[in-house]
């Protein structure tokens, strides 16, 4: 069932909302995602709304430079990404959703082998 979820960074400077059915998340084991502990959930651009905090939004890029890892420059929390495999989408950090409880909802967790990114994307057919 599609519903609207609200998210924010720790200090609340960055606020966003998404419209989605949140029954699945992706855990990537690449160096940056594993260190951040992020759980990704993809949403189309039209289902993502940045409500506040654009001036506090920082962007980190590494490797190919295609993926844009967005974080709050005040508190440092990673809030969402424009992923390399699908830069037209957003992947929100489900841990930043204020009205979603991972322990209660227990979404399917899909593993993504980001340490072997090229082979993993080829395997998925992206």
- CATH number of this structure's domain 3-124: 2.170.150.70
- Greater confidence (94 vs 30) lies with 94
Give the Cα-Cα-Cα angle 114, 5, 68 (nearest 5 degrees).
Answer: 35
Q: Where are the domains of the chain?
A: 3-124
Question: Rounded to two decimals, what is the model's pTM?
Answer: 0.88
pLDDT band of residue 47 (cuts 50, 70, 90) is very high
pLDDT band of residue 63 (cuts 50, 70, 90) is confident
The pairing of beta strand 57-60 with beta strand 68-72: antiparallel
Looking at the chain, list the stretches that DSSP marks H as alpha helix, in order from N- to C-terminal side.
Answer: 31-36, 102-105, 117-124
Tokens of 39: 């759980």
The answer to whether 102 and 94 are in contact (CB under 8 A) is yes
- Greater confidence (48 vs 32) lies with 48
Convert the pLDDT of each residue in 5-28 to its tens digit. 999 999 999 999 999 999 999 999
Q: What is the mean pLDDT of residues 66-92?
A: 95
Determine the Cα–Cα distance for residues 111 and 108; give it in Å rounded to an integer.
Answer: 10
Length, in residues, of the chain = 126
- Greater confidence (91 vs 116) lies with 91
The answer to whether 99 and 63 are in contact (CB under 8 A) is no
The pLDDT of residue 121 is above 80: no
């Amino acid at each position: 069932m599609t519903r609207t979820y609200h998210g924010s960074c720790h200090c609340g400077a960055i606020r966003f909302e998404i419209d989605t059915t949140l029954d699945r998340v992706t855990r990537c084991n690449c160096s940056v995602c594993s260190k951040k502990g992020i759980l990704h959930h993809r949403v189309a651009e039209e289902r993502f709304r940045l409500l506040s905090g654009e001036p506090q939004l920082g962007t980190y890029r590494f490797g190919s430079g295609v993926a844009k890892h967005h974080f709050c420059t005040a508190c440092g929390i990673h809030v969402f990404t424009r992923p390399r495999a699908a830069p037209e989408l957003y992947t929100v950090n489900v841990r930043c959703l204020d009205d979603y409880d991972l322990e209660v909802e227990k979404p399917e967790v899909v593993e993504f082998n980001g340490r072997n990114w090229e082979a993993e994307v080829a395997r998925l057919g992206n």
